[in-house]
Structure 1
């Protein structure tokens, strides 16, 4: 009986494969498994994808090998858990939807529509920015209550907490930004002056105020435009 193909944590990449013949390597190559530049082996996974995607690729590699009749052993720390698989699916959908939103914003040509999208992103229950902050906060709380090395748990919890604080700052910055831009009072006065000039054919003319232009406070971006 031949030795199984083993997938273990890598020295030259995220994971490396041992015991694969040429046919097995051909199955793995499309997934990003390749030898190091200056050595024939081991074949390693080289990718810039996130950690969950890497684990998913390793799982797919094992499935392809098993379907081809190979016995496969995967190091336990390289297996994607059901919960992590669900998280990967949600994050992938979220990324796609945000990309679609960007495409939609690029096609908008109405300042009020764009302003309302901006307000919707930080206004109301379940808005995207608050939802992101809540997800980061929940991650920090979850890390602190599970078992593991204290320094490891605290480091990851701090990362999640930093994400929560960053989204809170983004929401505060958005809330202090005026939208849509208030009408230019100087442009309004100039238009009135042109209408009342001797060259204009209007019969009546409203007086033009000589007082200083009104100062408009920045509206709260979290409000809903009437």
Structure 2
């Protein structure tokens, strides 16, 4: 173990591991590090997870190796910043909570409850659609004021802006739907509240220039400390 184990950007996967012996490779295998087909080397990280999760897996790989007594060198490009790590935790929590909401909705058997949940998602201060739109807008604004090539900043800003427009469009479309059911005495009041939603007021009918790919990140047990 005199030579360090190095983790670098990969050619066959997201990251490659160099200088690892068999015990080290055994530590990395549960995290998704494996050799390419028909070749024993290099051992690379193969995963369909998002980029933040990939960096977290690399960080966990380094921690496991160091705990086992190995010296580890990780390319700076593959290190997860504290801010990015916090964002990953929040996104994981959001994904988990939305999954729980979906499970709850699937078990509901009252049409009025389902209608009120639907209205709550786009109605009132801090509703889901407005919160999503605000998060995307914050990303679009932030990327325009940081360092980087202009084409990179503009492309990422456009992507975030498209997300904000999509959330506003969803709220505006929902506001045209007649719910809660007409028999509900609060239907008129709920319709008026939806119309006051910031997303519904600012939603535009201009076609969205980009659409974010739908992903369903799930909390990954591999991130737990070994």
TM-score, normalised with respect to structure 2: 0.81
Q: Which residue of 2 aligns with 1:186?
A: none
What does residue range 20-31 of structure 1 map to in structure 2 within 5 Å? Answer: 20-31=20-31
Q: Given that residues 122 and 174 in structure 2 are in contact (C-alpha distance below 8 angstroms), is that contact kept between their aligned partners in structure 1?
A: yes
What does residue range 78-93 of structure 1 map to in structure 2 within 5 Å? Answer: 78-93=78-93
How many angstroms apart in 2 are the aligned matches of 1:155 and 1:220?
Answer: 37
Q: Which residue of 2 aligns with 1:222?
A: 194
Q: Which runs of 4+ in 1 moved over 2 A?
A: 180-183
Q: Which residue of 1 aligns with 2:148?
A: 148
Backbone CA RMSD of aligned residues = 1.9
Give the 3 Å change call, closer, same or farther, for CA 223–108 of structure 1 in structure 2: farther
Give the 3 Å change call, closer, same or farther, for CA 94–47 of structure 1 in structure 2: same
What does residue range 52-71 of structure 1 map to in structure 2 within 5 Å? Answer: 52-71=52-71
How many angstroms apart in 2 are the aligned matches of 1:220 and 1:26?
Answer: 60
What does residue range 193-212 of structure 1 map to in structure 2 within 5 Å? Answer: none
What does residue range 1-226 of structure 1 map to in structure 2 within 5 Å? Answer: 2-182=2-182, 219=191, 222=194
How many angstroms apart in 2 are the aligned matches of 1:141 and 1:223?
Answer: 26
How many angstroms apart in 1 are the aligned matches of 2:91 and 2:192?
Answer: 30
How many angstroms apart in 1 are the aligned matches of 2:193 and 2:29?
Answer: 50
Tell me the CA shift for residue 102 of structure 1.
0.6
Tell me the CA shift for residue 220 of structure 1.
5.7
Once the two structures are superposed, residues 37-84 of structure 1 have per-residue CA deviations (whole angstroms, 9 ceiling, x without a partner) of: 021110000011111110000000000000011000000010010000
Q: Return the structure number with greater relative CO, CA threshold 8 A, min gap 6.
A: 2
Deviates more, 1:174-183 or 1:152-161: 174-183
